[in-house]
Amino acid sequence: MTKTYLVSTIDAKIVEEKFLQIDGNKIRYLESGDSKQTLVLVHGLGASAERWEHVIPLFADNFRIIVPDLIGFGLSDKPQVDYTPEFFSEFLEKFFVASGTKRPYLVGSSLGGQISVEYTVSHPNNVEKLILVSPAGVMKQSTPALDAYILAALYPNEHSAKNAFELMEGSGDNIDQKIINGFIERMRLPNAKLAFMSTVLGLKNSELITSKLSSISVPTLIIWGSRDPVIPINHADSFVSAIQDCQFFRMDGCGHTPYVQDPCTFASKVLEFLNNV
C-alpha cells in the first residue's frame, strides 16, 4: 500500500515522500507532478532519490516524476540478498506495478543506467524512451575515483566521503556539505554496507552488457560528463555504436553526475529529447 509520509518543497515544487511494500520490503520513493506521462529517475550506487533533487522541479511541469530509493539503498529496506543487475531489473518491474507506473520515460545514472538497460532489454514494450547518464556495465577495470567511493562506503566519515565526492565530480569545486552528510548517514544504516558491497560484487561478476545493447529498440539518449573519472567518457562509444536509435550529448566540464553539477543544461537536453516525437 502506498502511503504519503511527508510533503516537502524542493525549489517551490511539491515533492511527496511515499512508501510501498515489495516482497515484504518497505520501499521509499519521491513523487512530483500530475501529468499522465511518467518520468522515472534511477540513482546510482550508494545514492538515493535526493541525488536528483535539482532536476525534479525542472521536469515536474511536464511529467509525473517518480524517483525510487532502490532496494538496498537510501531509506528503502536492505534485505540480505544477492544484489545483481538482474535482481535490480526484477525489482524495477515490481516497483512499477506497485506504483501504478506504465510505460515510463526511464532515466538511469551509473548503476541506475545499467539497471535501466537490463530492464529495457527484458521488457522492451514497457519503456517509452531511455536516457542513460554515464551508465555502468561496460567497464571491468576500476578507477581511482571508484576505489575512493568504495572506501568511503566502507568507512563513512567526513574525510573519506569528501575525498570521494571531490574526485567523482572532477571539477575542483567544493562539494555541497548536504551531499557528504547524506552519504555518511545512509552508509551507517543497518545492512547498508552489505547491500553496497553485494552490488559491487554483483556488477563485477556480471557479464558486460555490450552484447545486450543492440537489443534496445526504444529511442535512447546517452549523456556523459566530459570529466567523468568514475566511468570515463571513452566508454560512451560502446553504447552509442551499439544502440540502434541513439543520440549522444557530452556535458563539458562535468564529472560523474552532470544533473547535480549543471541541472539546467541537463534538464534542457532531456526535455528536448523527450519532446521530440
| Confidence band, pLDDT 50/70/90 cuts, at residue 239 | very high
pLDDT per residue as tens digits for the range 54-78: 999 999 999 999 999 999 999 999 9
Three-state DSSP state, 202? helix
Which residue segments constitute the domains of the chain, with CATH numbers given? Answer: 3-141+207-275 (3.40.50.1820)
Residue 9 reports pLDDT greater than 60: no
**E strand map for 96-153:** 105-109, 129-133
Percent of the chain with pLDDT over 90: 89
Instruction: Match 506497485 to its residue by C-alpha cell.
Output: 98
**Vertex 41: Cα angle to 40 and 47 (nearest 5):** 145
Residue 276 reports pLDDT greater than 90: no
pLDDT per residue as tens digits for the range 167-225: 998 766 688 899 999 999 999 999 999 999 999 999 999 999 999 999 999 999 999 99
Least confident segment among 1-5, 177-181, 197-201, 266-270:
1-5
User: Which amino acid belongs to residue 188?
Assistant: R
Task: Find residue 30's DSSP bridge partners.
Answer: 17, 67
Write the CA distances from 121 to 104, 215, 259, integer angstroms.
14, 6, 25
DSSP H or E segment with residue 88:
helix 85-99
All three cell numbers of 179, joined, read 551531499
Q: Return d(Cα 117, Cα 131) in angstroms, integer.
A: 9
